[in-house]
Structures are given as C-alpha cells and as structure tokens.
Structure 1
Amino acid sequence: MYRQPFPRRLYIGGILYLPLLLFSTANRIIAVHPKISISPSGQSIAAMSSQSQPPSPPLAKKVKHKMELFGDVRVDNYYWLRDDSRKNPQVISYLQQENAYTEAIMSGTKKFEDEIYAEIRGRIKEDDISAPLRKGPYYYYARTLEGKEYVQYCRRPIPNHDAPPSVHDTMPTGPDAPPEHVILDENVKAQEYDFYRIGAFKVSPNHKLVAYAEDTKGDEIYTVYVIDAETRAPVGKPLVGVTSYLQWAGNEALVYITMDEILRPDKVWLHKLGSDQSNDSCLYHEKDDMFSLDLQASESEKFLFIASESKITRFVFYLEVSKPEDGLRVLTPRINGIDTSVSHRGNHFFIQRRSDEFFNSELLACPVDNTSATTILIPHRASVKIQDIQLFSDHLVVYEREQGLPKISIYRLPAIEEPLTSLQGAQAVQFIDPVYSVDPSESQFSSTILRFSYSSLRTPPSVYDYDMITGESVLKKIETVLGGFDASNYVTERKWAAASDGTQIPISIVYQKNLVKLDGSDPMLLYGYGSYEVCVDPDFKASRLSLLDRGFVFAIAHIRGGGEMGRQWYENGKFLKKKNTFTDFIACAEFLIEKKYCSKEKLCIEGRSAGGLLIGAVLNMRPDLFKAAVAGVPFVDVLTTMLDPTIPLTTSEWEEWGDPRKEEFYFYLKSYSPVDNLKAQNYPNILVTAGLHDSRVMYSEAAKFVAKLRDMKTDDNMLLFKCELGAGHFSKSGRFERLQDDALTYAFILKALNMIPTSGSALN
C-alpha cells in the first residue's frame, strides 16, 4: 500500500480484471452542492460566475503554525486544513468554495466538457463480457450491461470439463449452452451507496462459496462477505475492518489481514466459517512499523504465503492449506536488505531473491522439506530484471524487463518427481509494437496454456492464450473501441533523452499520423510518475483518443525512481538521489521541444499521487517550461508528512523518501518538497484534484498547496482545485462516473491552450 497511481490487480474468480475496476469516488456524508458555497466576500460564487467578470478565487485564512527542527523554522499558515475526521465545518466549507470556483471558471466551457464526456463514453461497448477463464468445471467472467455503472460476476458450466484445455476453447453461448449464473451484481449492491468497489472476489476451491471484500467509502477499509455461489445466500457474519488481502484456506476457512491505527497491514488472521470474527486466531502480528503484511496463494493452491515487507526487505512464511491449524512456518528468514517472493510446484518452492548484490533478482529453488537447500535456477543478470514468475505443473513462466521493455520467457520443467537442478532452453513470446505493456493473468496451473494481457499506446487491452508446447498464440478478447477507431492511424515511437548526468531516459510516444506535423506546433501531454519502482508501461486508454484526435502528441517519460529499466533505475531516483526524478522529467520535456514534438507554449504535463509530487516539484523548478499542469491526488507536502508517523504510510516509507528526523534527509526533502518551495513567480495553468477520504495522500496536501500557491504566484493563469468530497485515492467508482474526471482534465487542458471551439462539435 503506497502512494501509487494504480491499485493492485483484481482477480474475479480467477480472471485478471482491470478495465472497469481501477478507480473510485463518492460517499454522501457531507456532500453539499457546491453552488451554495460562499466566497470570502459573502457573495455566492455561482452567482458571481454569471456576471461579466470572472469570480475571485477563494482565499483560505492564515493561521500561523510554526515547526522547528535542526535549527530550521518553517511556518505553515494552512496547517489547519488538515482534519483527520474529515468533518471540520471550516475545512469542508473551504473545499466546497474551491469546488464551486472550479465549476464557475469551467462553466463557460461546460457544454464542451459534456461533449467530450459523451465522446469518451461513446467509444465504450457498454454491454460486454471479459475473456472467460476456464477454472474447474466453470467458465468465470465479468459482464457489463448497457447503461449500468458496475459489473456482474458470472459463471457458466463447461460441458466435458474433464477434457484438456486448448487455446481454441470457447465458452458456449446460445440457446443450447448451459445457463449463465450471476453470482454477484455490483449494480444491485451499489444502489445503497454513492461509492462502491469490490477489492477481492475469491471463489472457494470447491466452487460452492464466494468471499468478496467491499469498500463503500473509498478509504480502502473493507468488509468481507461470504455467500453461497448458487443461491447467493449469506454464509455467516461479515468480517469488518479488514484489508482486501483475502484467500481461502481450503473450503471452510479464510485467511485475511487487518490494519493498525495508521492503516498499516499488521495482522494476519485465520477465520473458520460459521465462527464469530472475535474468535479468529491471529497467525502473525508484525510489530515493526516499517513493515506491512502481504498475502498470496500459490498457483498450485496448496500453500498460502504471508510476507512481511519494507521497501528493502521482504521475508515469507507459508501456511499449508490442508493443515491451517498447524500455523505459519518460516520459508525465507528476515535478513535486512534481502527481498524474497515465493511460489510452489510439486516438491519445490521457487524463490525470487533480490539484494544489493543481486539487484535485478535471481531465481532459486528448494525442496519443500528442506528449505535451506537452495539451487540457483536463473542467476542474477545486470541487464535483465526478473519482474515476476508464474508456475504451472510442467512449465515456468518468467516475466522480465530488458532495456525498459517487458519480456516473457518460458521454461519446460522436468517431471515433478525428478530433481530440479537447472533450466534449459528459454522460449520467448514475441510482441509487435515498439513500446507495449504485458501483464500476467491467472491461468490453470495444471494446463499448458498461458494467459496474459497485452496492450500498447495504439492497441486496446487484449487477452491472449498461449500454448507453451506449440508456441501458438490465440487472441481471446480485445477491448472494443467504438467510433471508427483504427489502430493503423496511430504511430508509436520510442525515443531517448539525455539527462543532466548523461543517463539516457526512455520516452514512449503516440500520435495520430494524419494530424500531427512534428514541426513544433503540435500540442503535447507529457505524463510521468517515477517512484516506488513502479513501471508506467505504455498501455492503451480509449479516452486519450479525445486528445490524439485533436492533434495531440502523448508521451510517457520513464524517469528514474520507477522500475522500467531495472532495480538500479529505481535506486537512482530515491533517497538522496530523488531529484534525478525531477531533472529527468525536465530533460525529457526539453528533448521533446528540441525535436519539435511540441513547444513550451503547447506543452502540458500530468502526474498522479507520487507523480503529483513530480508535477509540483518541476513546476517550482521550471515553471517557464510548461503551459498547463494537472496534479492528481498529489503528494506535495513531503517534509511535513514524512515527519508525522501518525499519518498512514509514513513509517513504512522512510525507506523510500528518507527519514527526515535525520538532519541530512530533513534538508534534502525540504529542498524539493513542493509546498516548501513555492515562491513568488509566474506559474502555468494548474488543475489539482484530491479525494476527501484518501488514505494514501491526505486531501489536505493538495489543499495546502493550492492555498499557498494562490497567495504567492504572480500570474493570472488558472489555478483550479477539485476535491471529491466522497472519494478516496482512486476517484469515482462507477465506470461512467470515472470518465467525468477525464472530461474535466481534457477540457481544462484545451481551455489552457485556447483550443476549445466556439461552436460546433467537440471534435474538430
């Protein structure tokens, strides 16, 4: 759990399901219509917006709050905006005023924004299903219905399910097919709430029960329900106040994780169906506040793995599913600086191990009955990073990264009863785009069929089944994009920009070849992140077509601090090297201008969460370089937050940013923390967003940044702040609601570039 742009992958009955469940918002408590907000002058902002002159922005009151450490004094006049209860009337009033001001400033282009929303929504095939996954006697999939915000979780029996699977298998449909059964309908559940998100959906091994984790606020605190898969009848009482880490331990027990008061996953529990939650047994309590717990199931379904992890250390316990009463056993010991992830097949555990020496990871195996007797299967390679592995009864799939691009390598394993001493003859899966994204998807452990998801900047999300024996690959599902989309109209490129120290930074680029001139006159949106070793791979986003089809160039700067180029790429963008993240981004922007992809007057930038920190930092460093900036749920009050161990995530992230209770880190963090480095200068047009119930980046960081910037900036450019009063970190929960965020962002960018038509269609 960290300040990331994307949530963890969600498996629906075994299906990796991304398109409809990525983001969230809404909770009606304290939601007051923004038009009743009152400006500091006492006049309603909505009323002012109808007058000829633009309304005055809200001015947050100043209350001096002095902070002193290492002889350094900082004054935060807007510290009062932080309210852990989210109920302070003065805070809520200020947020409402900011929302009303944003609405007023954008009111003149509201029709255009609505047209963009309709345009984006018009590309979606509203009635659709995900690629069915064959699992046991059923096909599992998710269905969407026309006009409905949420999904249905479904399954259909497989005729002759004992026959071996094939890449050519298709789920039977039509009047003679076995009937579809809707296990759970989110649309029905969500009727009671303004926000609704399922964070885990787990089918029991015998396929008779389903456990799912439900969040109805956006704060990522879940309630787990167990239902009968056929009748939907509840089984036992719900588990409350838990995380979305949830696994079955056989057919009659669940393992789950809870959090402490700062929302750190710290305890793992065993729950027997039919018993009260108060009687659950605690399998492990992690008391070190630098560590958080993780929970995964082996592909073989014979073991559960509980990991305790910090940013540099990870150690693993295992629980035998058939004997949960035996409790946890140590698989990899706790050794500072050693990071391990594990899997299981037959008589062996497979261990992915990383350290300072083996920074891109090596792969080991050890017998289940002798975990100290390890054998190296794939040695460490300085140029290739092992990202993940996936085990099958006869194959090992290794997800790797080389030169910033993902790879899939497949190894045939010896028979389970044979010794496992080495791997022979890697088989590589081939991809066609110059830049692309590949993600593992759940597959049947006993089969020879690998399922993975593929996408590129011009290729919609696609699900493939790959026969690991024959090498045959079959497209099972590609996201339908309506509205005449033709991938051949778009060009994807990969370029390299030289950073200030000479490091080559990869950039992924896409544009509409019939519209872009590449003479410096084209508008551009440049996206960046650069933290937590996260790989922001170049994947497809249908709503982005609303920019590309207006002649925009879109680019992703794969800057240091991310993981695209291996572990050292991350290490060189954290701690006392964090500024490399920002200077890399600036170097990419300057390169794109030099190569005439855009100009300063046409360059817009965007980042979310820790990427919002990036945006805030580069705006302070080079405000002249950009025309407009969008900072989503931005982590901009870095020093104050990292000095406060009562805020969620702080203690576990001292190994990411540095512990500012130490003088060296204090002054380094202060030197780039966006709130602390705002100054009296001209800034470009800026849109900032936040969520009141965000547990990863508090809404107050964005609020303080905007309030202080309003007071200090010397320009007349737009500075807009929108806080979703019912949202968490991932915006609205409905799939159509979520599109409103993109419509606002695009309307803001086009308004800043003076590209909004005075009449006619939204699409020029």
Structure 2
Amino acid sequence: MTDAPIAARRSTLRTHHGDTFDDPYEWLRDKESTEVIAHLESENEYTQQELAHLSELRETLFHEIKGRVQETDLSVPTRRGDWWYYSRSEEGAQYGIHCRTAAVADDWTPPVLEPGVPVPGEVVLLDGNVKAEGHEFFSLGAFDTSDDATLLLWSTDFEGDELYTVHVRDLRTGEVLADEIPDTGSAFFTPDGTGIVYTTRDDAWRPDTLWLHRLGTPLADDVRLFHEPDEKFWLGAGITRSRRYLVIAVGSSITSEEHLVDLAGDLTAPPRVVWPRREGVEYSLDHAVVDGEDRLYILHNDGALDFELVAVDASDPQGERRVVVPHEPGRRLLGMDAFRDFATVEYRSEGLERVGLLDYATDAIEDVTFDEPLYSAGVSGNPEWHSPFLRLGYTSFVTPATVYELDLSTRELVLRKQVAVLGGYDPQDYDQRRAWATASDGTLVPISLVWRRSFGEPGDTPRPVHLYGYGSYEHSIDPGFSVARLSELDRGMVFAVAHVRGGGEMGRQWYEDGKLLQKRNTFTDFVACAEQLVADGVTAPSLLVAEGGSAGGLLMGAITNLAPELFAGVLAAVPFVDALTTILDPSLPLTVIEWDEWGDPLHDPDVYEYMKSYTPYENIGDGSTYPRILAVTSLNDSRVAYVEPAKWVAALRAAGARDVLLKCEMVAGHGGVSGRYNSWKERAFELAWILDTVGLA
C-alpha cells in the first residue's frame, strides 16, 4: 500500500489590487513537465489502489448498464432531399455508423428500420469505429452532405482538445479529396457544394474567424469572410433552413450581433449587420417567406427580460419591429424555428420546456401538450423547409428518449421510436415529483426527485440521495432519462436535482440572480436544498452524496467549504475549482469571454474580492471535517484545465482531508473518455464510488 501523493509546495506569488496570494501548487500547470505527468500518474495509481475493493462492483454496474442497452440499434431516419439519413450502432462497437438510404419522392413517413436487419439500399457514409482505429480518443465534429448529396464532409479530433480536422469524400467515387483543413471548429458546405465554410480559433481557444475554402484550391487561398477582434466575443455561423442566408453570429454571455450574407449573391460580399451590438442585448433570428415577403423573425431581450419575438422586413431589419409574441414575465422564450408554412416557438414556463406552433397569419401559438408532470420536449431534427411532419424529442426522468412526429394536418402526435430499455424495465416501477426548498433569502428553489416505488415514498424514512447541481450560464438541468441511473434507483437511492439560481429553470431572472456579484446564491441554494431533504426526512447527511461537473464542479467545491458536515461525499467532474486564478489570466483559453458570467477580477477590485471569498481552492477550511471527495478530470481539457482539480486535491490533502482522490484521464478532453463502452465504464466507476460512500456497495 502506498501513501497518498503529496505535491511539493513551491511558492508562486500572485498580486492584484494590493492583495498577494502565495500559490504553492501553481507549478502543476506545466503540462509539458515530466514531473507534473508523473504526479498525475501517481494520483491515478493511488486512486486505483484506494478503490480496488470496488472493482467487482464496477464490473457489475458496467454489465448492468450494458445489459439494459439495445447495443444493435438505429435512429429514426431524417429526410433531407432525396435521402433518409440515420445512424446505427452494432453490438461490441464503440462508435456510431452513419448511413443513408434513398427516399421515395412524396413519402415523408420515415422507414421503419429493425435492429440487426439489413436496410435495403443502405449507403454507409462514415463508420466511427473505422475512423477511431489506432486512437485512444475519437470525437466526430462536423458532419454534412452537400445539397446535391454528392459530397460528404466530416471532421475528427483524436486528442480531446476540440480542434478538428476537416475531410471531404466524393460519394459518387468514394475518393477522399485533398481538401484537408486542420484546427477547425464548426464546418459545413456552401449550398452550391463548391466550398466549405469553417471557423478557426485564436490562441485563447476562442472561435474568432470565419473562412471560405473552395474545393480543389490551396488552403493559403482561403477567403476570410469575417473576423471578430473583440476577445469577449465568440463566433459561429450557419445557413437558414430556407437556404437563403448565411448567418454569422457573434456573442458574449450577455450581448449578441448577427450578420447576413444573401446566398443569392456573392458569398464573399461584406455581410450586413442585422442589429448593431448593444451591451446587454441578445438576439437570434430565422428567415421566413410570408405572403411572398422576406421576413426575419428575431427573438430578443431588448427591454424584455424573458425575451419577445418580433418580425422585421429582411431588407430593412433595423426598421419597424412588429411584435409577434410579446414579453411575458416568467415565460422565457428560448428559440424560434421558421418553416415554409409555420414556425415553432420553444419556451420555458413553470420550470418546464414547452413547444408551440406559430401561425404566420394570426401570430397565434398552439401548444403541443404532454401528460407527465415533469418532462423535457423540444424541436429536433427538421432540416427540410417543408415537411408534413414536425419532429420532436421527448423524455422525462422515467420515460426513455422518445421521438414523436406531429402530423401537421391532424395535429396527431405519432410515436416514431422510444429507446428500448432491456431487462424488463417498467416506467410504472418508478416515480418523479418536484419538491421545494426555501433559500436563506426566502426564495423557493425547486428540487426534482425520482425514485423506485418499491422502496417507498421519499420521506417515509431517510434514504441515500444522490443530489446533482449545476447553476451557471442559464443552463437548465431538465428532466431526462438515464439507463445508468437505474442502477442507483434499483438499490434504493433517490436521485435529485437542485435547480439552483444561476441556471435557467425559472426564467431569466433566475439566471441573473446567480451570476456575477450574486454568485453565492448558487451555492447557498444548493445547501438549502440539501438541508430541506434532510429536514423532510428524505435523507440524512451520512446518506447524501453531491455531484456536479465543470461550473457545477465549482458548485461542488463551494458547498464542500460552506457545509462539509452536510454531505457524505462529493463527486466533482472536470471542476472549475481554481476559478479566480483562471479568470485573472486573459492568456488562458476562454478566460476573457467568461468575464460576463463571473465578473472581471483583473480590473475590478470588488469582483476580485468577491470571487476570492468563494473560489474553492482559496477557501479550504479544516480538511478533517470534509466528506469523501472524488475529482475527475482530463489532461487535454481545453475548458477547465486539469491543473484546477490537481491543485485543489493537493491543497485538500495539505489541509488534512482524509479521503480525497483524483482521477485524470491522460487522453481525453472536457467530455471525458470517448466511445460508449468506455463511457459506461467511466460512469460505473463513479457510481461504484457513490454507492460505496452511502453504504450501498
């Protein structure tokens, strides 16, 4: 048995606004150092040693997850042009296989494909398993076919750093063209199929430039279509469903600006701005043709906290705005998709996602309704400008991922597919509900609960609870099904989500109240949810495990400092636990664009003081009072560097934490390992630790 790795302490002074912090573990940031790599490997070896007693449980959990998945399966085909596109998986294969088969001209009903049964006329476009051969990590980025269906574009990442290399294949001959473009972000074909539009990043990993590459020409001749110099703004691009405009979108966390290029003209012509950027104003658009007139439908928050939808003349977008869906406090408009004859509006009300159909003639919205009290629903996979069906994705904590199509002539919801869960899964064996906690300022914070009925109602007797949280970027943790979660529920665990401020579950104000100089609300809300579950008899501190990842990992570090006695264990995935150090350094990837979310501590002493008061790494208390901690990270993570949890773990041990572990994937990125079997094994590893922590191992 080896002892826990002890990182050497080496003074690194950081001075800002008259405050000096001596960081003893900053030397771990040198990713090229053999000493740093050796330290990370020793952490992995120690974690493996300390959790060796769970090896059998991990194997059991992996086989439970695997046993519930229909390994050979297919997606519901999506029509684009004269083809049905779909992906399929095969038993024993890590990655998906992307295919197509010819469509009958007027038949919009997707063919029913049976798992394991050969598809007539199938054309394999890309087999991820073949592309991944010889690589420990594989991620498929862009995937596009030209409008005439003769060319395929795809991009690959073999490191996990989210820098992709674009490739092109001629589907008529099978030839891979010489047009290979490295270090890209997004990429797609021009409508005429003669070029590729793609983004590249700056040294801070920010997508900042949009390029046009003409097939068959040298990369050196690529045309720069747009460059965003402001380091607070990222860039993205796409083509409207109408195929009329190239939309170039730039945005920060709180401000956006969109530009149009009319594809009926010269793609390299200077784009025209729709609405000039104004600090704090966000908007997004889509294009429609109504009564022969080109319209832009713009979703915005200019004087409308929860957003409103307006229509403008596409030739004069800064002219008169006609309100289509007015602002309604508490109804957060999320998105709008324009089709030939109607549009969809997605919004959030009472904490749930909803979908409505917008009538162009009357501006009336007709809601698509579902029966469950907690669910997630959204528009999904509708590339065609005109179709008699609207495809929707649906799920809940107890309902597996489901694909519906709404028959637009009858308004009937047609079930196209529900993901099979093997092993006799019956949704009636499980239940879900919402509870509420009262925050320290009196705010009611929602908690979602899901459990197996045979163990009784939560609150009958204290039970193990797995409490998840995030609470940043207005990102909502919506109801969703998880095969892996069944292994917890079937052992008596209650799974819960704390919908804390900083997320978007309860509207835009919910987000505003959990960011910048109100960020502490995110942490105290989570503690309040944990305390409420204990007070209601749902659980006890010795039975409560918390989990969060990325910005949710910051939440985990903060609640560990705030209320260590309230939790038996804390699982922090790719955790943003050294937030102040990162946000102070504009040379680090993605730092400057984060200032709208966290504040700018480099130039604002109040932000510096506030962040220093909560950032987990700098606020560790008496480690002997801390719960068990497992931190999981990846060496090639370009969003939250491995050094943050590595420093945090070192500092926790130095403070006397008795059971703190670090697991670092040496070839992976922010999303962890690649491949479905590897992902299942990774989740089995984490679940075994959770179950062991609450005595269910």
One-letter amino acid matched to 2:387: S
What is residue 693 of structure 1 aligned with on the other side? 636
Alignment partner of 1:379 out of 323, 326, 329: 326
SS in 2 for 1:542: coil
What is residue 660 of structure 2 aligned with on the other side? 719
SS in 2 for 1:326: coil
Alignment partner of 1:396 out of 326, 343, 350: 343
What is residue 28 of structure 1 aligned with on the other side? none
What is residue 268 of structure 1 aligned with on the other side? 210
Q: Which protein has greater RCO, CA pairs closer than 8 Å, 6+ apart?
A: 1
Query: Is the contact made by 1:633 and 1:729 (CA closer than 8 Å) also made in structure 2?
Result: yes
SS in 1 for 2:690: helix
The alpha carbon displacement at 1:359 in A equals 1.3
- Counterparts of 1:653-692 in structure 2, within 5 Å, are 653-661=594-602, 662-681=604-623, 682-692=625-635
The alpha carbon displacement at 1:439 in A equals 2.9
One-letter amino acid matched to 1:705: W
Alignment partner of 1:355 out of 277, 301, 304: 301
What is residue 105 of structure 1 aligned with on the other side? 50
When structure 1 is superposed on structure 2, of 294-303 and 513-522 the one drifting more is 513-522
The alpha carbon displacement at 1:176 in A equals 11
Q: Tell me if 1:94 matches 2:39.
A: yes
Query: Is the contact made by 2:309 and 2:326 (CA closer than 8 Å) also made in structure 1?
Result: yes
The alpha carbon displacement at 1:87 in A equals 2.2
Query: Is the contact made by 1:407 and 1:428 (CA closer than 8 Å) also made in structure 2?
Result: yes
What is residue 60 of structure 1 aligned with on the other side? 7
Query: Is the contact made by 1:254 and 1:270 (CA closer than 8 Å) also made in structure 2?
Result: yes
- Write out per-residue CA displacement over residues 711-758 of structure 1, whole angstroms, 9 at most, x where no aligned residue: 1035x3x211100001100011101101111111111112222322xx
The alpha carbon displacement at 1:517 in A equals 5.1
What is residue 556 of structure 2 aligned with on the other side? 615
Change (3 A) 1:723 1:171: closer
What is residue 187 of structure 1 aligned with on the other side? 129
Q: Tell me if 1:509 matches 2:509.
A: no
One-letter amino acid matched to 1:369: S
Query: Is the contact made by 1:249 and 1:304 (CA closer than 8 Å) also made in structure 2?
Result: no
Query: Is the contact made by 1:156 and 1:180 (CA closer than 8 Å) also made in structure 2?
Result: yes
Distance 2:91 2:107 in 1: 35
One-letter amino acid matched to 1:628: G
Query: Is the contact made by 1:150 and 1:735 (CA closer than 8 Å) also made in structure 2?
Result: yes
Distance 1:126 1:355 in 2: 44
Q: Tell me if 1:498 matches 2:438.
A: yes
The alpha carbon displacement at 1:336 in A equals 1.8
Distance 2:218 2:184 in 1: 14
What is residue 284 of structure 2 aligned with on the other side? 341
Alignment partner of 1:436 out of 362, 369, 375: 375
What is residue 462 of structure 2 aligned with on the other side? 521
What is residue 21 of structure 1 aligned with on the other side? none
Q: Tell me if 1:480 matches 2:420.
A: yes
The alpha carbon displacement at 1:390 in A equals 1.2
The alpha carbon displacement at 1:335 in A equals 1.8
SS in 2 for 1:261: coil
Distance 1:506 1:449 in 2: 35
Q: Tell me if 1:368 matches 2:314.
A: yes
The alpha carbon displacement at 1:480 in A equals 1.1
Distance 2:111 2:668 in 1: 41
Query: Is the contact made by 1:607 and 1:632 (CA closer than 8 Å) also made in structure 2?
Result: yes
Q: Tell me if 1:462 matches 2:402.
A: yes
Unpaired segments ≥5 residues, structure 1: 1-47, 49-54, 415-421, 757-764
What is residue 42 of structure 1 aligned with on the other side? none
Query: Is the contact made by 2:187 and 2:196 (CA closer than 8 Å) also made in structure 1?
Result: no
When structure 1 is superposed on structure 2, of 650-659 and 196-205 the one drifting more is 196-205
What is residue 352 of structure 2 aligned with on the other side? 405
Query: Is the contact made by 1:129 and 1:142 (CA closer than 8 Å) also made in structure 2?
Result: yes
What is residue 185 of structure 2 aligned with on the other side? 243
Distance 1:504 1:744 in 2: 34
SS in 2 for 1:207: coil
Distance 2:355 2:216 in 1: 43
Distance 1:139 1:318 in 2: 30
Alignment partner of 2:94 out of 142, 149, 162: 149
Query: Is the contact made by 1:352 and 1:361 (CA closer than 8 Å) also made in structure 2?
Result: no
The alpha carbon displacement at 1:234 in A equals 1.1
SS in 1 for 2:318: coil
One-letter amino acid matched to 1:145: E
The alpha carbon displacement at 1:547 in A equals 0.3
Instruction: Give the superposed CA RMSD.
Output: 1.7
SS in 1 for 2:45: helix
The alpha carbon displacement at 1:169 in A equals 6.0
SS in 1 for 2:486: helix
Change (3 A) 1:230 1:598: farther
Unpaired segments ≥5 residues, structure 2: none
One-letter amino acid matched to 2:501: R
Q: Tell me if 1:296 matches 2:235.
A: no
Query: Is the contact made by 2:166 and 2:187 (CA closer than 8 Å) also made in structure 1?
Result: no
Change (3 A) 1:206 1:677: same
The alpha carbon displacement at 1:357 in A equals 2.3
What is residue 209 of structure 1 aligned with on the other side? 151
Q: Give me the TM-score of the superposition, normalised by structure 1.
A: 0.88
One-letter amino acid matched to 2:46: Y
Distance 1:348 1:516 in 2: 58
Alignment partner of 1:81 out of 19, 28, 37: 28
Query: Is the contact made by 2:653 and 2:660 (CA closer than 8 Å) also made in structure 1?
Result: yes
Query: Is the contact made by 2:470 and 2:549 (CA closer than 8 Å) also made in structure 1?
Result: yes
- Write out per-residue CA displacement over residues 366-409 of structure 1, whole angstroms, 9 at most, x where no aligned residue: 22222223221111111211101111101110001011111111
> What is the total number of aligned residue pairs between the two structures?
688
Change (3 A) 1:203 1:660: same
One-letter amino acid matched to 2:557: G
Q: Tell me if 1:122 matches 2:64.
A: no
What is residue 599 of structure 1 aligned with on the other side? 540
The alpha carbon displacement at 1:329 in A equals 1.9
The alpha carbon displacement at 1:58 in A equals 0.6
Change (3 A) 1:176 1:221: closer
Distance 2:378 2:142 in 1: 18
What is residue 695 of structure 2 aligned with on the other side? 754
What is residue 641 of structure 1 aligned with on the other side? 582
Q: Tell me if 1:552 matches 2:493.
A: yes
Distance 2:536 2:607 in 1: 37
Change (3 A) 1:110 1:338: same
Distance 2:600 2:136 in 1: 38
Distance 1:60 1:230 in 2: 57
SS in 1 for 2:454: coil
Distance 2:35 2:322 in 1: 62
Distance 1:234 1:345 in 2: 36
Query: Is the contact made by 2:491 and 2:696 (CA closer than 8 Å) also made in structure 1?
Result: no
Percent pairwise identity: 40
Query: Is the contact made by 2:589 and 2:639 (CA closer than 8 Å) also made in structure 1?
Result: yes
Distance 2:386 2:457 in 1: 52
SS in 1 for 2:274: strand
Query: Is the contact made by 1:350 and 1:363 (CA closer than 8 Å) also made in structure 2?
Result: no
- Counterparts of 1:415-434 in structure 2, within 5 Å, are 423-424=363-364, 426-434=365-373
Alignment partner of 1:198 out of 121, 134, 140: 140
The alpha carbon displacement at 1:243 in A equals 0.6
Distance 2:86 2:237 in 1: 23
SS in 2 for 1:704: helix
One-letter amino acid matched to 2:306: N
Change (3 A) 1:147 1:174: closer
Distance 1:712 1:337 in 2: 42
- Write out per-residue CA displacement over residues 691-724 of structure 1, whole angstroms, 9 at most, x where no aligned residue: 000000000000000000011035x3x2111000
What is residue 528 of structure 2 aligned with on the other side? 587
